Amino acid sequence: MAHDSLYAAPPTAEAEPGAGRLASLRGLFGSWDAVIVAALVVAVLVASLTVENFASGRNAQFLLLDLMPLALIALPMTLIVITGEIDLSVASMVGLCSTLMGQLWLSSGLSLELICVLVVLLGAVLGAVNGLFVTGFGLPSLAVTIGTLALYRGLSFVVLGDQAVADFPADWTAAAVRNIPGTSIPVVVVPLLLLAVIFGVVLHATAAGRALYAMGNNDQAATFTGVSVARTKFWLFVVSGAVCGLVGIFWTLRYASARGDNATGLELTVVTAVLLGGVSIFGGRGALLGVLAGVLLLGVLRNALQLADVDANALTIVTGSLLIASVVLPNAVADIRARLHRRRQRHPVAS
């Protein structure tokens, strides 16, 4: 289906190979991805020159650790939003998985390895509940996940109440923040990169990924081409829940604390990063490279402002402003590009 966007369409079979490669290069460097990457580079340079301790290895470690939950959840969220859906319950799933981990460690006598497996399974079940309501009952994902946002957060406090569980093994909590030897890069970045590669290959280099874009553009048209829309969306919500289970484990071990309010408000930051990365809120458009750049840009801005002793309320204002800008700007630029393209078609330049 034709779709105006900031991303270059793949060359047709009739196009000359050289022309196709040239068009792809123009699309890459004229895309929203390139804009976000450039903004990230500028933000890092400015913060390094103007904010004390921003460029230190210690701060780089904390920045990457802070971004881990955001980046992990953004991976499945990207795929969900590309299909035209959304999951606003991610932070509450993280919180519920964290409290279950704490409760099981406190009272079950199970090994921590088995508890981690059970927590990831719980996350998958929570995601399956979202998927069932969205695909099985045909309800809007926005409404469903707002409801489960409240439900799962409430259950988090039912599991642990106001108490916190903090007596996790020291070797586990140390492993969550350990660096790669000789660097300031946390070890947990390695599995994040592996997952990013897997999600990127699925989205951009497989028929399943092309089906996700087709669903975001037109569900009915995708169904006519043989895509199982309901089943695909259901499993995306399951994957989102499982990833939230992983994030719940990391969050608990990093802060050595399982609490009912863990990750509160994280869903707003995740959605902001995904949309800032160029994924259309209406579905059918976006790329994982832009999303990862959006995650880094958002993290760099918040980290630099915190180091500059900017008030926490101002950080919330920045996040909200970026969320609005991420919705308005890509669509405005895409509209301008489409208008210019139509004008060139109506008034071709004589060769």
Give pLDDT, residue 350. Answer: 53
Span 258-280, average pLDDT: 94
Give pLDDT, residue 22. Answer: 43
Inform me whether the pLDDT recorded for 13 exceeds 70.
no
Q: Cα dihedral sign for 311, 312, 313, 315?
A: positive
Give pLDDT, residue 195. Answer: 97
Give pLDDT, residue 28. Answer: 45
Tokens 């509940």 map to which residue?
Answer: 129
Rounded Cα gap, residues 86 and 350, in angstroms: 46
The Cα diameter of the chain in Å comes to: 79
Rounded Cα gap, residues 129 and 322, in angstroms: 30
Spans of all domains in the chain: 67-327
pTM score above 0.85: yes
pLDDT digits (tens, 9 = 90+) for 209-256: 999 999 999 999 999 989 999 999 999 999 999 999 999 999 999 999
Span 145-165, average pLDDT: 96
Task: Return the percentage of the chain with pLDDT > 90, whole number.
Answer: 74
Q: Which residue has the higher pLDDT, 72 or 19?
A: 72
Give pLDDT, residue 182. Answer: 93
Give pLDDT, residue 327. Answer: 79
Inform me whether the pLDDT recorded for 141 exceeds 50.
yes
